[in-house]
Structure 1
Amino acid sequence: MRAINCVFFFICSLVGVVRAYSIPGGYERVMFYYAYLMDCQLNGGTPKTIAVKCGKTPCTFDAFLRYIMKEPPATIDIFSKPYPAIPPLQETALAVIDNDLAGGVDPSHVHTDAVKNDKYEKLLNKVSDFVGGKYFSDTLPQELRDGGKQAMQRILVARKEAQHTSFFEKAPGSAYTPKYTEPKPSLYGIEYLKIDPKATVAANPGLEYKTFVTEWKAHIDEGHQGNINALSKQLELIDLSCT
């Protein structure tokens, strides 16, 4: 029975970690498509950088998502309006998450300057660079440019939250009772969960503050920090250029 409970706990923890990564992943898939739309519109309907082999004519969001996924389902029905329709950010990202479509992508299918085995962080940097670099292009619809910026903001905040919540979803953090700051902090007007170190230590008898800090530092080196830094850089450049 104990072995079964351990397996169950491991599976639940794994699901939690996957969920933490799939939430920003939903927004990232939409940002990738926004980059594709930008590329198409700037090059007469023929993209030069983003998903250049997606189709003979500009792909719908559904077709684009199938093209970039490592293991796509037979069909996808999220947003099928033809080019140049712009899928709504929030609604589309949540649909991607809810339909479990934020899994692995082939970087070489997303960006011409990427290879199949590139780290995802590297790909995200390339695409956010592309989107950020097109923000001030007057030939693109303002809705699309704003969508690209808002997608980066959503991804950054989602990854910041996932960085904090995922700490408690695998060892050693899974052994602790989590405590988050109250009220919730916000960035770009978006609230997110953030660990309260002192409250967490206080809620877990036997846990020393020094131990918690060491474990937390090891955790942030693993996943989201590189992506957070890259997105922060792009958004700072956009905001700096606006001033």
Structure 2
Amino acid sequence: MAVSKKKLTPKKLKTAGRPSKENGVNVREALIQAGVELLENTSLEDISLRKVAAKAGVSHVASYHHFENKNALFSAIAEIGFQKYFETYQKELEKTDQDFKGRYRALGWTYFQFIMANRQFARIMFGGMGVDLKNHPTLSGVSRRTYRQLHEIIRMGQRLGFLEQGKTREKTLASWAMIHGIAMLFLEGRLQMKNDPKEMENFIQTVTEYAYIGMK
């Protein structure tokens, strides 16, 4: 399976320029859309609310009615990223037997693919831009779902006898650290992507399996 670079975007705007009632798009949605589009070729550090407002076709002042600062906008974009991640995981899960091993391998591969294909989104979603989750409860709730997802898989492994009982939280964190760590090694160029997509998938799934093998 290839690591695709699908654009992570909400519904496209029907017309360019200043949002209006005619095209059914409100200003907040237009600003989020503009931020998503800027992420395609602009670094996070270079994005500002002024640039986002200009791209959305609204005034800089108007942007502050919806987002108090850049991090507030990033929080809204991150929510879109998490929803896309969960959708991708469900599609990957459909290709498995949905047992413990299938769920565990699918989650590891989905996590890796998502980060590699959506690098700037990953920086926002997983803490790279310092978005304070305490100030964004909706994002906090959706981001915790990634932990709960893995936690439920670990509990399944314990119920079915694949993993030892006890210390479920520690085992969840160890698995997350393993999966996230291998993705970061590739993201930072410490490891190089393999040319054969299937070989790449097998490599990532083998690495993630070692995490639960160590917990048996």
Tell me, yes or no, whether TM beats 0.5.
no
The structure that is helix-richer by fraction is 2
Instruction: Please tell me the TM-score bracket, short chain as reference.
Output: 0.3 to 0.5
**TM-score under structure 1 normalisation?**
0.32
**TM-score under structure 2 normalisation?**
0.35
